[in-house]
Amino acid sequence: MSEEGKGAKTRRELLIGIGGVTLLGGIFLARGGAIKKQGIKAIQKIQTILPLPSKTLPPLPVDPALSIQGLSPLITKNKDFFRIDVAQELPQIDISTWRLTITGMVKNPISLSYSDLLKRPLFELDDTMSCVSNPVGGFLIGNARWLGCRLDDLIKEAGPLASADQVLSSSVDGFSAGFPLSNLDGRDAMIAVGMNGSALPIIHGYPARIVVPGLYGYVSATKWLSNIELTRFDRKQAYWISRGWSKLGPIKMESRIDMPADGATLAKGDTYIAGVAWAPNSGVKAVEIKINNDPWISATLGPALSGTTWRQWWIKWSATSGQHQISVRAINTSGEVQTPEIADVLPNGAQGWHSVSVRV
Ligand SMILES: Nc1nc2c(c(=O)[nH]1)N[C@H]1C(S)=C(S)[C@@H](COP(=O)(O)O)O[C@H]1N2
Ligand SMILES: [Mo]
């Protein structure tokens, strides 16, 4: 087996393991080992009071999931947010000595302490983060209100050389992720220090991580961030790239049926079919449902927090006796319809329509 194939398999095994455990009861495991007790203690120790953002988002709208049981909440609670990383042990970062550096092909290397970072103008960002290994219908995706400072401003201050084309970030534990410098095209990429109203939890990257709207985590979302290097794709490769995964990782348009669950047995009568759909960076314009061989029907959509957040969708369904196949597809604001063509997660993300089969 080639080095690439071997690495890719390792990653998939890891992910399958985590997915299984998550479904069993929300206990998170890091590559086969439980979070060390010390990590949990350290989470409790984080009492950082974050400064208020200089730019706030409107308060969150009423969540449709409050009235539709089984639908994913608009915002994923921190405790329910999926976790993916290759950390053998949770990094224990001493905030008094931690620094974020910006180095490499830059005119003015930068070094910031945690308090330097918190002094920068902070803004809020609603963004759905997805793992490239999220299968069609999978749960390696979550939506959060992040708090952080602009990444493009920081990089501008560092002054990238004209020949630099990659933003390669690395963590204290050696993980790295890289994306094209050209992706800093005005989108709200950030160095996040907060998540859903609290400091970044340790498992999600405390003290700081990168969040780039529209990109899968493996190319962008470095947790326990320590360095951002401006470099070139033809010189340096990030962690997962040499293990068979695509150099570029834009999140694909997808949709998921949350309920009814595949294989469920339902009572006859009125129920909901409901789920979430996402289409970075433009946003979801419509979601359509197909029941058996009936024509596609439009679902009702929940609020659109941003072009890079998921949207909840639902329809009321009067279930009749029998076996039913239900499929979903999203349509983005440019009118593009989610492709039915199936792709596996490797090398650049799963695609295809999610279907469930239920018995009434
Ligand atoms: N330090 C570090 N950061 C990391 C990773 C990692 O293995 N180590 N995995 C990345 C991947 S593949 C994903 S999908 C996201 C997941 O972020 P979450 O665990 O906060 O959901 O983190 C990214 N950041
Ligand atoms: Mo990922």
Is residue 11 very low, low, confident or very high in pLDDT (cuts 50, 70, 90)? very low
Domain boundary among 219, 243, 267: 243
Distance 211 CA to ligand 2 centre (A): 12
**Residues lining ligand 1, Cβ inside 6 A:** 81-87, 129, 131, 171, 173, 175, 204, 217-218, 221-224
Whether residue 251 is predicted with pLDDT greater than 80 in this model: the reply is yes
Q: In this structure, is residue 287 part of a structural domain?
A: yes
Percent of the chain exceeding pLDDT 70 equals: 87
Residue with the smallest CA separation from ligand 1 atom 20 is: 204
For residue 127, give the nearest of 231, 213, 220, 225 by alpha carbon. 213
Residue with the smallest CA separation from ligand 1 atom 16 is: 84
What is the average pLDDT across 322-351?
98
Same domain, 200 and 278: no
Locate 105 and state its tokens: 């092909």
Distance 226 CA to ligand 1 centre (A): 14
Q: In this structure, is residue 232 part of a structural domain?
A: yes
Residue with the smallest CA separation from ligand 1 atom 15 is: 217
Distance 201 CA to ligand 1 centre (A): 13
- Ligand with an atom nearest the CA of residue 142: 1
Site to probe by mutation for ligand 1, drawn from 10, 35, 84 as the one with most ligand atoms within 8 Å of Cβ, is 84
Same domain, 270 and 211: no
C-alpha dist (Å) from residue 356 to 158, 275, 322, 340: 50, 12, 14, 15
* pLDDT reported for residue 48: 63
Q: In this structure, is residue 342 part of a structural domain?
A: yes
**Rounded Cα distance, 229 and 108, in Å:** 12
Angle at 77 between CA 332 and CA 81, to 5 degrees: 75
Same domain, 210 and 324: no
Same domain, 296 and 234: no
Q: In this structure, is residue 248 part of a structural domain?
A: no
What is the average pLDDT across 183-187?
98
Mean pLDDT, rounded, of the chain: 89
Same domain, 98 and 137: yes
Q: In this structure, is residue 348 part of a structural domain?
A: yes
Domain boundary among 243, 275, 297: 243
Site to probe by mutation for ligand 1, drawn from 132, 171, 223, 227 as the one with most ligand atoms within 8 Å of Cβ, is 223
Domain boundary among 243, 272, 295: 243
* pLDDT reported for residue 44: 43
**CATH code of the domain covering residue 320:** 2.60.40.650
- Ligand with an atom nearest the CA of residue 206: 1
Same domain, 228 and 285: no
Whether residue 313 is predicted with pLDDT greater than 90 in this model: the reply is yes
Residue type, 312: Q
Q: In this structure, is residue 119 part of a structural domain?
A: yes
Same domain, 206 and 283: no
Q: In this structure, is residue 249 part of a structural domain?
A: no
Residue with the smallest CA separation from ligand 1 atom 21 is: 83
Distance 111 CA to ligand 2 centre (A): 27
* pLDDT reported for residue 319: 96
Total tally of structural domains belonging to the chain: 2
What is the average pLDDT across 55-63?
95
Q: Please write down the HEC assignment for all residues of the chain.
A: CCHHHHHHHHHHHHHHHHHHHHHHHCCCEECCEECCHHHHHHHHHCCCCCCCCCECCCCCCCCHHHCCCCCCCCCCCHHHCCCCCCCCCCCCCCCCCCEEEEEECECCCEEEEHHHHHHCCEEEEEEEEECCCCCCCCCCEEEEEEEEEEHHHHHHHHCECCCCCEEEEEECCCCEEEEEHHHCCCCCCEEEEEECCEECCHHHCCCCEEECCCECHHHHCCCCEEEEEEECCCCCCCCCHHHCCCCCCECCCEEEEEECCCCCECCCEEEEEEEEEECCCCCEEEEEEEECCCCCEECEECCCCCCCCCEEEEEEEEECCCEEEEEEEEEECCCCECCCCCECCCCCCCECCEEEEEEC
Residue with the smallest CA separation from ligand 1 atom 5 is: 85
Distance 176 CA to ligand 2 centre (A): 12
What is the average pLDDT across 224-240?
98
Q: In this structure, is residue 234 part of a structural domain?
A: yes
Same domain, 93 and 205: yes
Same domain, 219 and 261: no
* pLDDT reported for residue 34: 41
Q: Which residue has the higher pLDDT, 28 or 257?
A: 257
Per-residue pLDDT tens over the stretch 87-141 = 989 998 999 999 999 999 999 999 999 999 999 999 999 999 999 999 999 999 9
Distance 166 CA to ligand 2 centre (A): 19
Distance 40 CA to ligand 2 centre (A): 22
Q: Is the peptide bond before 281 cis (omega within 30 degrees of 0)?
A: yes
Residue pair 41/102 in contact (Cβ under 8 Å)? The answer is no
Same domain, 135 and 159: yes
Site to probe by mutation for ligand 1, drawn from 170, 210, 218 as the one with most ligand atoms within 8 Å of Cβ, is 218
* pLDDT reported for residue 15: 41
In which domain, by residue range, is 264 found? 254-359
* pLDDT reported for residue 55: 86
Distance 101 CA to ligand 2 centre (A): 24
Q: Which segment of 4-8, 306-310, 344-348 scores lowest on mean pLDDT?
A: 4-8
Same domain, 151 and 288: no
What is the average pLDDT across 311-333?
98
Same domain, 141 and 268: no
For residue 47, give the nearest of 91, 12, 95, 89 by alpha carbon. 95
